Amino acid sequence: MKRHGQVWGIYIIKKDEISWLESLAKLVNAKLSEKPELDNKLSLKKKFKGSLGEVIGLIELYRHLGDSCTYEWFGGRKKDFDLIVRNNQAEIKIQIKASFEDEYSFQIPTKGYRPEDIEEIKNKNFTNFLKTLNKNIDKKNVDFWLFIHVKSGGNTFYILDKKSLNRILEEDYRRYLNKPKNKITGYGIKDGIARFFLKEKNVSDLLEQYEGKWDLITARMK
């Protein structure tokens, strides 16, 4: 069923709407930057970053894939992914995460860890922890993660598949444990949940190899 560009609550972005969305994204970002003191008080960028980040990601995807694909935007209605890109050959599901801070930080929550895992980690045994971490990522209904660092001088885009994200999270956790205070605070696990914050100061050398890797996506759509 299709009505006014919608299929069952999914909005299919039309070609003439891309330029309008691009203008909107530039306007909102510029306005938010005009009053940094107000932004600090009201955390406006944090309130806008979800939808605005998805718009910026959608625009950049269109630049690389063009009219050969349709772009189905779910607008937060799906747990794992924000966007489906389709053509006659393939479809991919993409989760978009945006950071508007001077130094980026992308959050990836994972769950299902046992108290025994912490005891094993204390003894430098990461086997079960890593199995649970990998299971969290592998079972997500996502093909690619698009991380966007939104900056006034130009945005930076990182494209990762499941294998790449698993690799980065594993190394990020090992680095996390190298700081003694983090061992005291439960080894980063609380109530069976481990939240990863991929911060620029900690993982820039890991993420930079995925900067602008649009070929990962374009190759899938051929």
Question: Which tokens belong to 123?
Answer: 């003894």
Q: Please tell me the predicted confidence (pLDDT) of residue 31.
A: 82
In a domain, 1, yes or no: no
Distance of CA 59 to the CA centre of its chain: 15
pLDDT in tens, the chain (222 residues): 343 444 444 678 887 888 888 888 888 877 877 887 887 787 777 777 778 888 999 999 999 999 889 999 886 666 789 999 999 989 999 999 999 888 999 999 999 999 999 999 989 999 999 999 999 999 999 999 999 998 878 899 999 999 999 999 999 999 998 887 777 667 899 999 999 999 999 999 999 999 999 999 999 998
Q: Please tell me the predicted confidence (pLDDT) of residue 184.
A: 66
Domain housing 139: 6-220
- List CB contacts of 157: < 8 A, sequence separation 6 or more: 57, 60, 146, 147, 148, 149, 211, 212, 214
In a domain, 165, yes or no: yes
In a domain, 107, yes or no: yes
In a domain, 111, yes or no: yes
Query: Locate tokens 């605070």: which residue?
Result: 185
Q: Give the CATH number of the domain where residue 80 resides.
A: 3.40.1350.10
In a domain, 79, yes or no: yes
Number of domains in the chain: 1
In a domain, 152, yes or no: yes
Q: Please tell me the predicted confidence (pLDDT) of residue 7.
A: 43
- Cβ atoms of 215 and 134 within 8 Å: the answer is no
Q: Please tell me the predicted confidence (pLDDT) of residue 78.
A: 63
Query: Locate tokens 């718009």: which residue?
Result: 55
In a domain, 130, yes or no: yes
Q: Please tell me the predicted confidence (pLDDT) of residue 189.
A: 93
In a domain, 63, yes or no: yes
